[in-house]
């Protein structure tokens, strides 16, 4: 590994100053589970590494059914996966967080890092996008907010400018009779990268769906917001016909590649299968609220 400067700031303002002061040649270390591997492989050679794990404001996890969810950038995945409030109010997000790596990885890895690393197969991205999450970004010019689906711009490239830091992820409070779900397909039983990942969030009024969001992972250069698939569910009881229509629309929205994990044709087929399963489970959960 190359030589670099290491800093451990105590505040967000200090972290932003350190990031901005290096002319863009600095990297944030929230958990390091991606960054350190990339540095060892020589894929990234930052002159400065800014460790934000000890900033108190970034270690906050607040979940409330009435006001929503706030996840600091330094909150490790295991806290999200095991938090009783998250599991109750946002079960799909808890499922996604629980799938990232081993127990050791989950003790370090963060949802913010999962987004900013910008892997097309990031598990928490479709779950957050389905929930309509937004990200608070601090930088030299102040704070700005962007939707979770806009953080990833290309494989390995995010929307943050030099000197900026993703400080918090916010998930809105769910409406009554709403629920989410996340599932993925992997070649092995655990600790593998998604071949396809699907997140769905639904809200019901009476016996019919009144709002839906569908997000797809690992079938495009960035996560896909499958708006037409979501639209096929709205106004329906999410029955077999609606699920079939959603599966077909999601399959049409996918643009997978063929690689060592799976051919594109297989990925397209799995998109439809998972959308059916995930939307059906989200509907079951929403009806039970």
DSSP string, 137-156: EEETTEEEEEEGGGTEEETT
Within the chain, all domains assigned CATH 3.30.465.10 are found at: 57-171
Q: Decide: 217 and 126 in contact? Cβ < 8 Å.
A: yes
Segments of the chain assigned to CATH 3.30.43:
5-50
Architecture of the domain made up of 180-287: 2-Layer Sandwich (3.30)
- Give CA–CA dist 289/285, Å, rounded: 7
Question: Which residues belong to CATH 3.30.390.50 in the chain?
Answer: 180-287
Q: Domain 57-171 carries which CATH code?
A: 3.30.465.10
What is the C-alpha to C-alpha distance for residues 270 and 178, in angstroms, rounded to an integer?
A: 25
Fold of the domain built from segment(s) 5-50 = 3.30.43
User: What's the pLDDT at 190?
Assistant: 66
> Is the pLDDT assigned to residue 23 strictly greater than 80?
no
Q: How distant, in Å, are the alpha carbons of 42, 53, 107, 211 from that of 101?
A: 22, 19, 10, 32
Say if CB 246 and CB 252 are below 8 A apart. no
* Backbone phi and psi for residue 242, each to the nearest 5 degrees, phi listed first: -65, -40
pLDDT tens per residue, range 190-249: 668 899 999 999 999 999 999 999 999 999 999 999 999 999 999 999 999 999 999 999
Q: What is the pLDDT of residues 72-116, one digit of tens each?
A: 999 999 999 999 999 999 999 999 999 998 888 889 999 999 999
Q: What is the pLDDT of residues 112-138, one digit of tens each?
A: 999 999 999 999 999 999 999 999 999
Instruction: Give the sign of the dihedral formed by CA 88, CA 127, CA 30, CA 103.
Output: positive
């Amino acid at each position: 590994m190359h030589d670099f400067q290491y800093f451990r700031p105590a505040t967000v303002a200090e972290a932003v100053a350190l990031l901005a002061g290096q002319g863009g040649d600095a990297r944030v270390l929230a958990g390091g589970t991606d960054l350190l591997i990339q540095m060892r492989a020589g894929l990234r050679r930052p002159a400065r590494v800014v460790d934000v794990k000890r900033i108190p404001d970034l270690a906050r996890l607040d979940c409330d059914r009435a006001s929503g969810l706030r996840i600091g950038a330094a909150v490790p995945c295991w806290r999200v996966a095991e938090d009783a409030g998250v599991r109750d109010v946002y079960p799909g997000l808890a499922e996604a967080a629980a799938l990232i790596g081993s127990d050791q990885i989950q003790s370090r890895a963060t949802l913010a890092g999962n987004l900013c690393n910008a892997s097309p197969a990031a598990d928490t991205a479709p779950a957050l996008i389905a929930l309509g999450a937004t990200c608070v970004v601090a930088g030299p010019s102040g704070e700005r907010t962007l939707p979770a689906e806009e953080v990833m711009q290309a494989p390995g490239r995010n929307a943050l400018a030099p000197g900026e830091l993703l400080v918090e992820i916010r998930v809105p409070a769910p409406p009554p009779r709403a629920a989410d779900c996340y599932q993925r397909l992997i070649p092995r039983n655990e600790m593998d990268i998604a071949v396809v990942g699907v997140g769905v969030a639904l809200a019901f009024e009476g016996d019919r769906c009144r709002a839906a969001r569908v997000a797809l992972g690992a079938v495009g250069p960035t996560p896909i917001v499958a708006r037409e698939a979501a639209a096929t569910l709205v106004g329906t009881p999410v029955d077999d016909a609606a699920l079939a229509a959603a599966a077909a629309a999601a399959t049409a929205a996918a643009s997978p590649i063929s690689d060592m994990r799976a051919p594109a044709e297989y990925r397209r087929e799995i998109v439809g299968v998972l959308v059916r399963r995930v939307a059906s489970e989200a509907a079951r959960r929403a009806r039970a609220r």
